[in-house]
A and B are shown apart, each in its own frame.
Chain A
Amino acid sequence: MVPLSWYMALSAAVFCIGVFGFLTRRNIIIMFMSLELMLNAVNINLVAMSHYLQDIRGQVMVMFIIAVAAAEAAIGLAIIIALFRNRATVHVDEINEMKG
């Protein structure tokens, strides 16, 4: 039996990797993947808690998050492709025209 704290630690580690990647990388696809990491860290957390508390609702929630995340990934990638076709770059520092 794996204790709850291990799961939490894993989740925290994955989340921190996601945040770090999101803040430091300049490639929009890498940033996007970091985002997915953060999302899945949350999922791990939810499933662990669901198991620990013997409450199925946490896992149901995860199913929804996966479904939404799939849709979000599809739209996000589509936007990135459209962006690339227009600007021929995935480097976010070069995409800075939308400002006040």
Chain B
Amino acid sequence: MDITMVHILIPALPFIAFLVNGLLGAKVIRNQAHWVATLAVAGSWVLSVITLMDVLQGKTFYGDIYTWISSGSLNVSVGFSIDQLTAVMLIVVTTVSTLVHVYSIGYMHGEHGYWRFFSYLSLFTFSMLMLIMSNNFLQLFFGWEAVGLCSYLLIGFYYDKESAAVAGSKAFIVNRFGDFGFALGVFLVFIQFGSLDYHTVFAALADWESPVVELFGFEADLVTVIALLLFCGAVGKSAQVPLHVWLPDAMEGPTPVSALIHAATMVTAGVFLVARCNPLFDLSPPAMSTVAIVGAFTSLFAATIALVQNDIKRIVAYSTISQLGYMVLACGVGAYSAGIFHLYTHAFFKALLFLGAGSVIHAVHDQDIRNMGGLFKHMKITAITFWIASLSISGFPLLAGFFSKDEILWMAYASGGVQGKLLWLVGTLVALLTAFYSFRLIFLTFHGEFRGGHEKEHHLHESSPVMTIPLIILCVGAVASGWVGLPPVFGFENQFAHFLDPVVGHPEAHGSHAEEWMVMGVSVAVGLLGIGLAWIMYGKKSDLPATLGGLAKGVPYRWLSNKYYVDELYDLVFIRSTVQGARNILVAVTDGAIIEGIVNGVPAIIARLSEKLRLIQTGVLHHYTSIMAFGVFLLFAIVISWAGG
């Protein structure tokens, strides 16, 4: 069906709010900026729900609204495509965005640049909606870059703090690497299919024989090249290894931003991209394997780092990277609906964890969990919602995370072969680590004695209702959002997977019900084991953490707490050589010798020339007059001889 005003307004409302706040915020609206932004995004949420209702009845919407570029064979429109996948994303984005807006009213209260914060949030919501609603690759790319820009702006929101400014730049630059590949992938799609429209491209795939191309001496199917290049973008945006380094640093931004952009929405764009391009990925088994392995490796990698971090937001950030790895892993085994399902449940409990962390930081004014403890009795709502979110992420039975995580583990297991089993093993190990670090965080933060000093303990307080109500609403999501996708072994049809089936299809599952029960049982068991271990080590007073930290002369601990020295490695390999090169070649030779040589050389030559030339200017009037007369006669002579000849 055609696009109507309802659909156009979904991204348009936040954009209008951005314009209003951006143009009038500094002088007119000031500390009332939250009204404009929050009402606009709430409006988008209502319209998204209306759209979801339509889509639930089996309607999908597709259409162009504006010709953007028309040049030769390149025709790109601004258009929307609203199918089941988009509808799910719409709900995730607008729900979390609305709640984060409300939460920010309390969290950012009285901050310098309050209106600026809300106008950025609106711009982000607009960009994200354009990204997910797009019906072509170029508009997707536009949204992709625009959310990257907003991420940069919001990470560096406290621009007078150097670490925040640096973190913003880092996020932007690291994403350049991924986006470069993404752009190349889009170019290849256009060269190969002559269009950037989803429908045209995906329809052309049906009877398309992928040509074999030679690349750096290797032969590869073109479709593999395209899929992997597109996946490069996903690796950057969804913070997969090796481009994960920007996400932990992005925690320099205000906490609501971390919840919205760096947990629930923007970072999941990579997963969305892979799911959206599933017809392309399905054609290339090597690309799929790469996706699955990158996802599994990332989830393990980040989970191990999270074990020993002490900054409350960084723990949650590494947890996010790890869970994103889960989603990518699911896409890699063809279970796109499982990946999107986890994306959807994860949005609730991870946003909740971040907002809870924000509430804690708001009370303690510190981010180091070693200086916390015993907060449970001071901030009951925050603590209880945090508990539930952590149980959910740990896969506690019947909570949201349990169903989505279980679906992914089962799909990995059932994808068959040794690879499937290995992926499942890694996934299960990650589930253990996830439960452990989540509850290490809980026990260190909310239980035991407060370690931040008596002075501070006096000031501990629960956050205001404007902050706790979003927590409670998200908590409902963290508990119940998984119930739309109850697995077949429980005697239900998986409605969520069924709903997404027209867009992403479903992989063949090799395995019996018994095996599925086994997978589920194991994941619940390791989840509980992780929680138990965390309790033994951090819930009770124990020397175990210290003992384990000192293991093998503390080498494993140092590697983990320094994040495997990846930052240092990049610093050594890329940054230092770049900076050295810039200093020695660009600054010294290109800029110093060549450009400044030209810039200073030209006037120097002219000055020396004019030194001689100005002597012609004698100041004697008769020299001028005779030269003038001589010139006139010369001209006459030339004209006459020319005409006569």
Contact = CB atoms under 8 A, between A and B. Distances in A.
A-B interaction:
yes
Given A23-B629, A100-B614, A92 B622 contact: yes
Interface in A43-100: 92-93, 95-100
Interface string B608-619: 000001111111
B573 interface: no
A97 B618 CA distance: 8
Interface of A: 19, 22-23, 26, 31, 92-93, 95-100
A93 B614 contact: no
B629 A97 contact: no
B621 interface: yes
15 contacts: A22-B629, A23-B622, A26-B622, A31-B621, A31-B625, A92-B621, A93-B620, A93-B622, A96-B619, A96-B620, A99-B617, A99-B618, A100-B613, A100-B617, A100-B619
Contact of A22 (B614, B619, B620, B625): B625
Enumerate the 4 nearest inter-chain pairs by beta-carbon distance, A residue then B residue, closest first: A100-B614, A99-B619, A100-B617, A96-B619
A74 B622 CA distance: 23
A23 B620 contact: no
Nearest to A28: B621
B625 A96 contact: no
A56 B313 CA distance: 91
Contacts of B600: none
B620 A97 contact: no
B626 interface: yes
Given A23-B629, A31-B625, A100-B618, 11 more contacts: A23-B626, A92-B620, A93-B621, A93-B622, A97-B619, A98-B617, A99-B618, A99-B619, A100-B614, A100-B616, A100-B619
B619 to A, nearest CB: 3
A96 B617 contact: no
A98 B629 contact: no
Contacts of B618: 96, 99-100
A21 B95 CA distance: 95
SS of B interface (majority) = helix
Contacts of A22: 625, 629
A41 to B, nearest CB: 13
B533 to A, nearest CB: 91
Nearest to A22: B625
Contacts of B620: 92-93, 96, 99
Contacts of A19: 629
Interface in B614-640: 614-622, 625-626, 629
Interface string B83-96: 00000000000000
Contacts of B621: 31, 92-93, 95-96
Contacts of A26: 622
B610 to A, nearest CB: 8
B622 A98 contact: no
A54 B622 CA distance: 41
Between B616, B625, B629, the greatest number of chain A beta carbons within 10 A of the residue's beta carbon is seen for: B625
A26 B615 CA distance: 22
Contacts of B629: 19, 22-23
Contacts of B615: 100
A18 to B, nearest CB: 11
A23 B617 contact: no
B148 to A, nearest CB: 59
Contacts of B619: 96-100
A100 B614 CA distance: 5
B617 to A, nearest CB: 4
Between A31, A92, A98, A99, the greatest number of chain B beta carbons within 10 A of the residue's beta carbon is seen for: A99
Contacts of B622: 23, 26, 92-93
A96 B621 CA distance: 7
B156 to A, nearest CB: 56
Contacts of B614: 100
Nearest to A98: B619
Interface in B577-627: 613-622, 625-626
A17 B614 CA distance: 32
Contact of A23 (B613, B616, B625): B625
A35 to B, nearest CB: 10
B579 to A, nearest CB: 49
Contacts of A93: 620-622
Contacts of A31: 621, 625
A92 B624 CA distance: 12
B88 to A, nearest CB: 80
A19 B621 CA distance: 14
A12 to B, nearest CB: 12
B639 to A, nearest CB: 16
Between B614, B618, B622, B626, the greatest number of chain A beta carbons within 10 A of the residue's beta carbon is seen for: B622
A23 to B, nearest CB: 6
A65 B622 CA distance: 26
Contacts of A96: 618-621
A77 to B, nearest CB: 17
A31 B625 CA distance: 10
B618 to A, nearest CB: 5
A23 B625 CA distance: 6
B250 to A, nearest CB: 64
A96 B615 CA distance: 13
B495 to A, nearest CB: 92
Nearest to B617: A100
A99 B617 CA distance: 5
Interface string B155-178: 000000000000000000000000
B636 to A, nearest CB: 12
Nearest to A19: B629
Contacts of B616: 100
B229 to A, nearest CB: 64
Nearest to B611: A100
Contacts of A98: 617, 619
A39 B616 CA distance: 28
A92 B617 CA distance: 15
A12 B382 CA distance: 106
A92 B621 CA distance: 7
